[in-house]
Structure 1
Amino acid sequence: MTHRIAILGASGYTGAELVRLIASHPSMQIVALSGDRKAGMAMAEVFPFLRHLTLPVLQKIEEIDFSQVDLAFCALPHATSQAVIRELPRDLKIVDLSADFRLRDPAAYQKWYGQPHAALEIQAEAVYGLTEFYRDEIRAARLVAGTGCNAATGQYAIRPLIEAGVIDLDEILIDLKAGVSGAGRSLKENLLHAELSEGTNAYSAGGKHRHLGEFDQEFSAVAGRPVLVQFTPHLVPMNRGILADVYVRGEAAAIHAALQNCYADEPFIHVLPFGALPSSHDVRGSNHVHIGVIGDRIPGRALVVATLDNLCKGSSGQAMQNANLMLGIEESAGLTAAPVFP
């Protein structure tokens, strides 16, 4: 059976990544692509690396016939998805890659995104899209809210440790490095090559990053009590990738065992042998996550390092993994390509 797919916001990085992944999917066919400012253009003009594919011309969302679509990926900017998704057919399956439906509490959304939620009538039905921890809910969902890429990386490292009770919940520090594509494709002065290359910088520091809303929501729910982590992201001059150094209080061997037990049967999450640490190169262009654990010279402290590709496992690959579940397809379909190296 072939499932008909629309990608809304196909002219951005995550939209292009979805096209790349779907091109090798055994049972998905792209029947519609939207790109409001680039409507009427071919994808080959917008992304020449896709010129070998036969794809629909970009069009405006209101021009799409959704009666011919089984599932839509919504790769639109934050705060745009709400207005669009509320107008889509109620029987259409949707995977949203924006932040618009990630936070269950409307007050939390307003706190972190600075405006009231505009689609509360459907927000309540959204399922959080961290695939490995919400599979059953995702299978039955109509609307799945993809996680933030930084939030996913941190959760893969920390969530099993909270569940296993092997770390001090009041001493969690996440020091994260993120590639430039995580900032989107819009022109920004600080992302110019001359201003970004050969350096790095912290951003949204001091508890201001929006993905803290997801950490607060998810970690507190798992722990059954409020959990607040210290989180500082850094922008580094690489195109793709996220690497998070997570500093925790707990016995390193028990932490490693908890991660191994949690992810033993996961096709995309790989826990390295104790003492080995991953590189962002190891997962580039793939849907894989690598996690390593090492003890510290200070007794009772440990370092957990997690890395993933922000455009794939952190966004579009995760979205496809969730779509596979929603459509009753093998979860790993279209996602088994090896990482790109070097």
Structure 2
Amino acid sequence: MKGSHSVKNVAIIGGTGYGAVELIRLLQSHRYMKIKQIISHSQYGDQITSVYPHLTEFYDDPMEELNINRLKDEIDVVFLATPAGVAKDLVPQFQESNVQCIDLSGDLRLHAREAYLTWYGKEAAPQEILDEAVYGLSEIYKEEIIKAKIISNPGCFPTSALLGLLPAVEHGILNNQSIVIDGKTGVSGAGRKQSQMTHYSETNENVTPYKIGKHQHIPEIDLYLSQVANEDIATTFTTHLIPMTRGLLCTMYGKLDKQVSTPEVIDLYQSYYETHPFVRIREEGVFPSTKEVYGSNFCDIGLHVDERTNQLIIGSAIDNLVKGAAGQAIQNANLMNGWDEKHGLYHIPIFP
């Protein structure tokens, strides 16, 4: 189906965060979406260039206060780049309108309200909203995304981990109870708000594991792996903060249930992602690094069968702010509106 090429008006709620700024950067080159409103609860009335001077000449309107009725009248697509606990209250207010909602927070990712309360410590969205929201992992749920009005954009770690693991899980080559995920991310993943953990003198020349056993992305990864496997999967998932601005790498391990070679697994992955332009599978002996996807919407995956330990080792690299947030959100908007999913996103990564 060809999409309408009339321009859609866009609003970004949560306008001063890193996810919002990345949306602004990427939407600048999008032919079919135009930013009409940037909404900030804390800084409405200010020019966004007073917060981010690098946007000078590209967006000069002041940020605005949230007005749901105006959004429903004037806006076609709303990107919610808000902290956890905000979108769950806002999205229901658009339910009876034609506005497409794409939530970049974790508010709609878990199907069960009690799971959200357990992992996020807040009351969840209404169950009917959770039931309607489509999980926006673009390569896996493409057909559902095309028909959706509410998208729950995946988290950055789940995007990397799921794209790396799902082909192996779906084809039954892993012992699904043996999966270990070692995740490393740059400090932009923590957002713009300063904390001791992301303070320069704490982060520089340091690697820090964090949220051991209680990271909010654990149930998200387990849920969508379990759906594909048709069995309950509980992964071991450990995150680390490393001293760089952007980038995210998951190195994953799982015991093999089938005898396969590295070339066979690479062939399986290349076939699985053959029609998906943003997933790039490395050749044998080559693993990705975060620099190779910097500033891009690509997910690069490397694979190795360790015959000595009978394990599959998977490396999956993304830019946490693009494929892990704003880029995938735009990819989903493209799919929802029948546009080429690459539109506005198919750029060479920045290197070095």
TM-score clears 0.5: yes
Are 1:243 and 2:249 an aligned pair?
yes
Alpha-carbon shift at residue 55 of structure 1 (Å): 4.1
Distance 1:296 1:124 in 2: 40
Match runs of 1:71-220 below 5 Å: 71-88=77-94, 90-205=97-212, 207-220=213-226
Distance 1:162 1:302 in 2: 11
Aligned pair count reads: 341
Q: Please say which of residues 264-273 and 58-67 is displaced more in the overlay.
A: 58-67
* 1:304-325 Cα deviation digits (max 9, x unpaired): 1000000000110000000111
Match runs of 1:221-240 below 5 Å: 221-240=227-246
Alpha-carbon shift at residue 105 of structure 1 (Å): 1.6
Distance 2:173 2:337 in 1: 36
Alpha-carbon shift at residue 258 of structure 1 (Å): 2.2
Distance 2:26 2:307 in 1: 43
Distance 2:146 2:184 in 1: 32
Contact 2:249 2:315 in 1 (8 A): yes
Distance 1:245 1:146 in 2: 22
Letter in 2 for 1:330: D
* 1:275-313 Cα deviation digits (max 9, x unpaired): 211110000000001100123262422311000000000
Distance 1:116 1:87 in 2: 17
Distance 2:15 2:319 in 1: 19
Are 1:328 and 2:334 an aligned pair?
no
Alpha-carbon shift at residue 104 of structure 1 (Å): 1.0
Q: Please say which of residues 130-139 and 298-307 is displaced more in the overlay.
A: 298-307
Q: Find the residue that maps to 1:38 and give its secondary structure.
A: coil
Contact 2:48 2:59 in 1 (8 A): no
Out of 13, 16, 31, the residue aligned to residue 11 of structure 1 is 16
Distance 1:215 1:287 in 2: 20
Contact 2:318 2:324 in 1 (8 A): yes
Contact 1:252 1:301 in 2 (8 A): no
- Percent identity (aligned): 35
Letter in 2 for 1:285: G
Aligned to 1:316: 326
Contact 1:252 1:302 in 2 (8 A): no
Aligned to 1:59: 64
* 1:119-169 Cα deviation digits (max 9, x unpaired): 333221000010011111111111000001001100011011111111111
Distance 1:177 1:297 in 2: 26
Aligned to 2:50: 45
Q: 1:64 to 1:195 in 2, by over 3 A?
A: farther
For structure 1, the residue ranges without an aligned partner over 5 or more in a row are none
Alpha-carbon shift at residue 45 of structure 1 (Å): 1.0
Letter in 2 for 1:48: P
After TM superposition, the score normalised by the length of structure 1 is: 0.96
Aligned to 2:3: none
Letter in 2 for 1:308: I
Q: Please say which of residues 70-79 and 296-305 is displaced more in the overlay.
A: 296-305
For structure 2, the residue ranges without an aligned partner over 5 or more in a row are 1-5
Alpha-carbon shift at residue 266 of structure 1 (Å): 1.2
Contact 1:30 1:55 in 2 (8 A): no
Letter in 2 for 1:121: E
After TM superposition, the score normalised by the length of structure 2 is: 0.94
Contact 2:161 2:181 in 1 (8 A): yes
Q: Find the residue that maps to 1:61 and give its secondary structure.
A: coil
Q: Please say which of residues 314-323 and 179-188 is displaced more in the overlay.
A: 179-188
Letter in 1 for 2:325: S
Distance 1:56 1:230 in 2: 46
Alpha-carbon shift at residue 86 of structure 1 (Å): 1.9
Letter in 2 for 1:53: F
Alpha-carbon shift at residue 264 of structure 1 (Å): 1.5
Cα-Cα RMSD: 1.4
Letter in 1 for 2:298: H
Q: 1:43 to 1:171 in 2, by over 3 A?
A: same
Q: 1:56 to 1:326 in 2, by over 3 A?
A: farther
Aligned to 1:279: 289
Runs of 4+ in 1 over 3 A off after TM superposition: none
